[in-house]
């Protein structure tokens, strides 16, 4: 099979890495890809959001299957456009991807179908939003309604911080049109956990739990990022909690989308908080998280191509999806200054000295035989070991030889889970 993966980050490198192992995949392409992906797949110069361009390229090159990985092309309807041309594509259609594309939609869906989540209100008027914040008090959560690269959320500890977030999103347009409408939520407490799940619209198969580290600096300080590292599985996500989540969140979500005429086929990301009152949904994403994808796919034993096809064909109940009984840690190496201003084009050295880990490229390009930085998040050093503690130690040790100017990474990925002081 000729397979095309859409996207250019660490998540897409991990997906290509997993697909490369499948005997079904004879030719592997990635659009637009990156420097590291180019080592295992042919990179194609088509932007991930160029739907007509992607469809035309796939048709012209007789692509058999397309895996659409990022949020923007899913929300824009790339899967619909490919299917309209008779090309099999993995990922939700536009009317189902809205669970990530609009936070207001997803909150209203949860409310309608009794899926546990934080209390909330939706605003398109800045003054009303500010009045609501004043009335509710802090801590409180302010979210852009639309897609904002995982950065359009402020957990405000003070009223001033909450008001600043509202003004920033709604008046200053810090996230463009994504912030024209905001969702303001109660601040839930408890550990966060992510569960990614494959679904064909009927059957749902959860992957091992994971936990992202969103803040830029150690001790969960600094601005939100796309994610500075991930561990899998999450030790406080017990088998008992897994059953509660399946019964109260996972299956009800799939059924709710079906009832709304928005059947979801693809990967659903359940971002949850384990509150004193039980698990509640923080957010849905309509695709693999990044860097959770790198950590979780490192544990997958089943042929990924078999799973993707089953999700599209509605036969997921016939696939025995297996993961290693092990743990993984993905450590993100970022450009200095990320997620604000950072420089590109720095030479990366030491990649050939990395041992006992896989390095997934996120923001790199290859020029004259050398890898150069080309984004905020540059690499994801991912290690697998029998225990989580060993996986974390292994990932940091493996990252040791890697260097580029102004390289920045958190030194505490997984530490709070492992209770490392």
Mean pLDDT of residues grouped by 10 in the chain (421 residues)?
Answer: 98 98 98 98 98 98 98 97 98 97 94 95 94 94 84 89 94 90 92 96 98 94 92 95 98 98 98 95 96 98 98 98 98 96 97 97 97 98 97 97 98 81 42
Residue 104 tokens read as 């207001």
Residue 149 confidence (pLDDT): 72
| All structural domains of the chain | 2-93 (3.40.50.20), 119-186 (3.30.1490.20), 192-318 (3.30.470.20), 327-418 (3.90.600.10)
Distance of CA 112 to the CA centre of its chain: 26
- The Cβ of residue 324 has, within 10 Å, a number of other Cβ atoms equal to 13
Residue 419 confidence (pLDDT): 66
Residue 417 confidence (pLDDT): 75
Residue 151 confidence (pLDDT): 74
Long-range contacts of 61-64 (CB under 8 A, 24+ apart): 61/2, 61/29, 62/2, 63/2, 63/3, 63/4, 63/29, 63/87, 64/1, 64/2, 64/3, 64/88
Give one DSSP letter per residue of 52-115, joined into a string.
HHHHHHHHHTT-SEEEE-SHHHHHHTHHHHHHHTT-EEES--HHHHHHHH-HHHHHHHHHHHT-
* Bridge partners, residue 141, by sequence: 155, 185
User: What tens digit of pLDDT does each residue of 145-185 get?
Assistant: 888 776 788 889 999 999 999 999 999 998 998 889 999 99
Residue 108 confidence (pLDDT): 95
> Do the beta carbons of residue 308 and residue 88 sit within 8 Å?
no
Q: In what order do the strands lie in the sheet with 140-144?
A: 120-123, 182-186, 140-144, 153-156
User: What tens digit of pLDDT does each residue of 32-86 get?
Assistant: 999 999 999 999 999 999 999 999 999 999 999 999 999 999 999 999 999 999 9
Give one DSSP letter per residue of 377-414, joined into a string.
EEEEEEEEESSHHHHHHHHHHHHTT-B-TTEE--S-TT
Residue 420 confidence (pLDDT): 52
C-alpha–C-alpha distance, residues 4 and 21, integer Å: 15
């Amino acid at each position: 099979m000729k397979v095309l993966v859409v996207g250019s980050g660490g998540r897409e490198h991990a997906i290509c890495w997993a697909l490369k192992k499948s005997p079904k995949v004879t030719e592997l392409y990635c659009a637009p890809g990156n420097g590291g992906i180019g080592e295992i797949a042919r990179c194609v110069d088509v932007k991930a959001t160029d739907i007509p361009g992607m469809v035309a390229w796939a048709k012209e090159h007789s692509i058999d299957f397309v895996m659409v990985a990022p949020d923007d092309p899913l929300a824009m309807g790339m899967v619909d456009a490919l299917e309209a041309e008779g090309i099999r594509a993995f990922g939700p259609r536009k009317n189902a991807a809205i669970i990530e594309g609009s936070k207001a939609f997803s909150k209203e869906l949860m409310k309608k179908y009794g899926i546990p989540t934080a209390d909330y209100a939706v605003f398109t008027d800045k003054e009303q939003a500010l009045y609501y914040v004043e009335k509710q008090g802090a801590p409180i959560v302010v979210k852009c309604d639309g897609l904002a690269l995982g950065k359009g959320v402020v957990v405000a500890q003070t009223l001033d911080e909450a008001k600043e977030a509202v003004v920033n999103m709604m008046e200053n347009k810090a996230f463009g049109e994504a912030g024209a409408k905001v969702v303001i939520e109660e601040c839930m407490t408890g550990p966060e956990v992510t569960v990614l799940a494959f679904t064909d619209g009927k059957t749902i198969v959860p992957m091992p739990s994971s936990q992202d580290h969103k803040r830029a600096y150690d001790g969960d300080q600094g601005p939100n990022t796309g994610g500075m590292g991930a561990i899998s599985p999450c030790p406080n996500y017990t088998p008992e909690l897994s059953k509660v989540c399946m019964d109260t969140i996972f299956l009800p979500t799939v059924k709710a989308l079906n009832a709304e005429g928005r059947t979801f086929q693809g990967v659903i990301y359940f971002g949850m908080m384990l509150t004193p009152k039980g698990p509640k949904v923080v957010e849905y994403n309509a695709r693999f998280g990044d860097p959770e994808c790198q950590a979780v796919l490192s544990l997958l034993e089943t042929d990924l191509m078999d799973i993707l096809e089953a999700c599209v064909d509605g036969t997921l109940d016939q696939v025995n999806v297996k993961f290693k009984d092990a743990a993984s840690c993905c450590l993100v190496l970022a450009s200095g200054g990320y997620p604000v201003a950072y420089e590109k084009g720095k030479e990366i050295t030491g990649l050939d000295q990395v041992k006992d880990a896989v390095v997934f490229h996120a923001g790199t390009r290859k020029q004259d035989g050398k890898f150069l930085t080309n984004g905020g998040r540059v690499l994801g050093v991912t290690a697998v070991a029998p225990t989580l503690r060993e996986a974390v130690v292994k990932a940091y040790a493996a990252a040791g030889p890697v260097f580029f100017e102004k390289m920045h990474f958190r030194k505490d990925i997984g530490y709070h889970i492992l209770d490392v002081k």
